[in-house]
Amino acid sequence: MGTDTSDDAAVWRLDGDRLLVNSTDFFAPIVDDARTWGRIAAANAASDIYAMGASPLFALNLAAWPRDVLPLDLLGEVLAGGADAAADGGWVVAGGHTIDGPEPVYGMSVTGTIAAGAGEAGLLTNAGGQPGQALVLTKPLGTGLLATALKRSGPEATEPGGDLHAAYEAGVAEMCRLNDAAAAAAIKVGATAATDVTGFGLLGHLAELAAASKARAVVDAGAVPLLPDVIGLATGGFVPGGTGRNLDHLAECLDGGDDLTRNVLGDPQTSGGLLFSCDPARADDAVRELRDNGHETAVIGELADGSSATVGAIAITGAIVGDTGSDEG
């Protein structure tokens, strides 16, 4: 029996306690290097699986390719990047489908499973949050701002000494990072709700989690981890159009935060981290474990009781903090 759990994923009960989950995602190139784009797209596609507490089993490649414009060897590099991510995560690329298209697009349909015996209790959704729980974010924000800056800059900007070098290096590393360790940490500390942070930005996905959990949220903007130079990108005019759409959609449920803070917290993410809620004491354990393993993770706020008028609302306290300068080498 199949059950929709979100716009991005679905769950099936196979038999007994076995649950099968599936999600699909794909997008146009976000970086110039084909293999890196493939790895990022595959990591992004698997993110919904991890956000539900599942482990990927296998995936199918999905690609559109303008073969009269771009060589097929370049597509091979994209697929190799996807295979790299699958190898890192321990899932199999079992085939796929490619069509002619006016522009290159790549991603995966990923299928995973909840461990036998976990049953419904092993499935994380965005509806299980509880008032008093802490909110943990497992990756820094800023990939939407970075992608916009990359589109408007020459290749020299990402080279050592270039204005985007630090942000690019850090952003690519984070987008290529799988959310497997983050999911394992969330499960270990007893998280009751989780989502991945992607196109709706931190604020959009948090609003969905709070509404589904019949709670409201409080975000400490100063605690939110950011990629290098994100404030400089935001003040420098690189805010993507998707940010405005995200904030317009959330206009009725946001309280606090200046324009800069809202633009950063509403930034659409590619292959972003997990956002989960759990007991505050256990949240510190998760943050410590993930930081010890190289994840830029933080407690960024909490869930609170919501009245009928405030369910899904977000109060933003403080302001974002971070570096504003460019990398000079």
pLDDT by residue (tens digit) across 282-301?
Answer: 999 999 999 999 999 999 99
Cβ neighbours, 10 Å, residue 243: 23
Reduced to 3 states (helix: H, G, I; strand: E, B; else coil), residue 130 is: coil
User: H or E element: which one contains 114?
Assistant: strand 105-114
- Percent of the chain scored above 70 by pLDDT? 92
End-to-end CA gap in the chain: 55
Cα–Cα distance measured from residue 54 to residue 61, given in angstroms and rounded to the nearest whole number: 20
Looking at the predicted structure, is the pLDDT value of residue 73 above 70? yes
Structure-token pair, residue 120: 């419904």
Helix axes 143-151, 165-176, angle to 10 degrees: 130
Report yes or no on whether pTM surpasses 0.85. yes
Q: Are 182 and 274 in contact (CB under 8 A)?
A: yes
Domains and CATH numbers, the chain: 2-122 (3.30.1330.10), 134-317 (3.90.650.10)
- pLDDT tens across 10-66, in order? 888 877 777 899 999 999 999 999 999 999 999 999 999 999 999 999 999 999 999
- pLDDT tens across 91-112, in order? 999 999 999 999 999 999 999 9
User: H or E element: which one contains 254?
Assistant: strand 254-255
Structure-token pair, residue 182: 């983050």
